[in-house]
Amino acid sequence: MNIVDGHLHFFAQEAGDYHWLKPQNPPYWQDKQAIALACGERSLTLSSGHTLAGYVHIEAGFDNQRPWREIRYLEQRAQLPFKSVASIDLCSESTLSHIEILAGFFSVAGLRHILDEQAASILTHPKTKHALKRCSEYGLSFDAQLDVGDSKGVNALLRLLEARPTLQVIINHTGAALLSSAVTAAYVKQWRINMKALAQCSRVAVKLSGWEMQCRDWHWRSAQNVVVETVAIFGVSRVMLASNFPLSNWRHSYQTLWQQYEKMLANFTLDAKCSLMANNTARWYGVDI
């Protein structure tokens, strides 16, 4: 079965900055050094039953002041079909000029500003609406990494989608912390309400990945429940399975992760499996497979 991984990162510390990977800088994860290693296409090992047909590289902090440096590095080395999502600061004075530069690279399909707990303030910032307008004019999507349980952030995103009728948004990492031991029934209820609100817009898709960000020791049955519910809300055509490699290595090897994903989809049709594991990612990001 072909796989198109919609969310992974390569690290090249000898060439980039990666401020967040340095032990003296946040996030202060005790296991951060386990992933702070050089990695690239050759690190993506799969079993004989799976073939990596392509991937989407998500900005990894190579150089957030000059995000095109990471894109240039990737394009010079890629062997497989791929697209990239570049770093952007939506609120910067240089945002529009950066978007213009990034749009000139063949691999750039989208942009990402990690929103997290600042989602509402960033998405309502005066510069953001102009940045996302320019983004959509260049045909670039926006990778929104936010907590979908945060209604203020979700409502701000919905208002931007209404104001920008050609903008495509892809929610990162399920938009949730559903596997966390601290999750409450009230949180899950609000996540479900907000996911349904986002699903009303046909220009929104969801990537299911980053389980280890929620819980290092996550269990595949818990993730499977999230996959089934997300597909029920968005439909098969707007959901993508992805790895978040190399952070996924905290729990599973790359090969084991995709084997587990296929097991999760045991009750899905073959067409649905192909859509969730490859074809949707290729279509939403324009990966030529």
Question: What CATH number does residue 212 fall under?
Answer: 3.20.20.140
Q: Is 233 exposed, middle or buried (0-12, 13-18, 19+ CB in 10 A)?
A: middle
* Regions of the chain where pLDDT drops below 50: none
Of the candidates 81, 142, 1, the one whose C-alpha atom is nearest the C-alpha of residue 286 is: 81
Q: Structural domain tally of the chain?
A: 1
**Containing domain of residue 84, as a range?**
2-285
Of the candidates 238, 241, 236, 203, the one whose C-alpha atom is nearest the C-alpha of residue 224 is: 241
Task: Note the residue count of the chain.
Answer: 289
The 141-145 sheet, strands edge to edge: 2-8, 51-58, 82-87, 108-114, 141-145, 169-171, 204-208, 239-241
What's the one-letter identity of residue 216?
R
| pLDDT at residue 224, as a whole number | 96
Helix intervals (H) in the chain: 68-77, 95-102, 119-123, 126-137, 151-163, 185-199, 211-214, 220-234, 254-264, 270-274, 280-285
| pLDDT at residue 176, as a whole number | 86
Tokens of 151: 């209604």
| pLDDT at residue 181, as a whole number | 82
